Amino acid sequence: MKRILIFMLSCVSAAAIIGCEKQIESEPPVLSSDAKDIHVTAEGGTQTITYNIENPAEDGMITASPDSECNWIEITDTETSGVITFNVLKNETDAKRESKITVTYEYSGGDPQSFSVNVSQDPRENNPDPDPDPDPDPDPNPGEDVFTITVDNITYSTAHIRVVPDDETMPYIVYVDMASEIKDLSDDEVFQMDYDIIVGNANASQITINEYLNTIVKHGPQETTQKSLNPGNEYAVWAYGIDLQEDGTLVRLSKITREYFTTKIPPVTENSITLEVESTGTTLSAVATPYTNDKYYNLNWNNESTLVNAGYTDGTVAERCFQFEYDYMVKYIGFYAVTDWANVKQGPATTSTVMTKPDTYYLFAYFINNDATADGEIILKTIEFDGYNVTIR
């Protein structure tokens, strides 16, 4: 599950996607990982393994599997680039158990590449105290909201969010995600879901839970403009106080305060595609809204220097962007259907790119036929970037 952590700085490493998203690499793919052995408590939970593929092949595929005799590890996601997500079931036995997960990268024209990560899990606790002394409730009024969450200035992809705690000394966490992630969950279930993600992220970063919490825990009033939201979707913002005990246990100090909001939908242009673009630093984010969800369309980025260097200098900008795309796609049309390309969409869609240098960047979209020709007008947005300022027109 993807989770947007708000009110925190994050380092994002991205590459500008120019032209079609399928690229030809002259060097063979190389699979690598810094993942270390993973140790899991008896309770189990979600874990992740990170990896990197240099020079990925067009038809490359990542798979992951535990040892054949292992029935307590479930691979849940191999589609997210650079991350394998798996779930470790609760250990109901008195024995420590161990297995390994093998991650394999396969592509035509080369031998499969793989690496393995050892996974171990503690046995269940023997003879637990049947009546332990309960810790005192850290919150004298656990049923009351202790945060005020305000969401305003909502657009199709942004929202201004402000969180104000009653107690400015209390450490707390704020999340924003799709409303469906938490809407039907109790506070305890939401907290457990968040905790599993925290543990997984800490393990993936090879740091302690405490070190990871230091990057996301907040104090006092916080506000930000949340960007890169999808149009017409309901989101949730939730916050709660936390405390990390000496034994490493994370405790929730308050009721979870929740606030819901729905992003707007850009206007629809009859028989066309509406494009909206916004910039955050050097990152461009865009949303495309076609007048119908039944037709496929191509949505992609390019820039002036790429077009010129590739020899596409004749015609309008829209015509040059289209010709660049068309010439590339027809090379592989015998191997990939038009609808197999990642940049070919259906219904409302989002896309982003990073401006790596001063240049004129283009976002374009057009309905596409099965032979990669354009079915109608090519819609274009132009973005000027001088290295400091961004102008969108």
Domains of the chain, first to last: 25-121 (2.60.40.10), 147-262 (2.60.40.10), 273-392 (2.60.40)
Instruction: State the average pLDDT over residues 277-294.
Output: 91
Contact of 171 with 229, CB cutoff 8 Å:
no
Contact of 375 with 325, CB cutoff 8 Å:
no
Question: Which DSSP state fits 224?
Answer: E
| Residue 50 scores a pLDDT above 70 | yes
Instruction: State the average pLDDT over residues 78-88.
Output: 90
Residue 380's closest CA among 298, 310, 308, 312?
298
Question: Which DSSP state fits 321?
Answer: H
pLDDT in tens, 207-232: 888 888 989 999 999 999 888 788 88
- Relative to beta strand 172-178, strand 234-244 is antiparallel
> Would you call 90 exposed, middle or buried from its count of C-beta atoms within 10 A (0-12, 13-18, 19+)?
middle
| Residue 17 scores a pLDDT above 80 | no
Q: 14 pLDDT band (50/70/90 cuts)?
A: very low
pTM of the predicted structure, to 2 decimals: 0.52
Say how many C-beta atoms besides its own lie within 10 A of residue 219's C-beta: 12
Instruction: State the average pLDDT over residues 145-166.
Output: 93
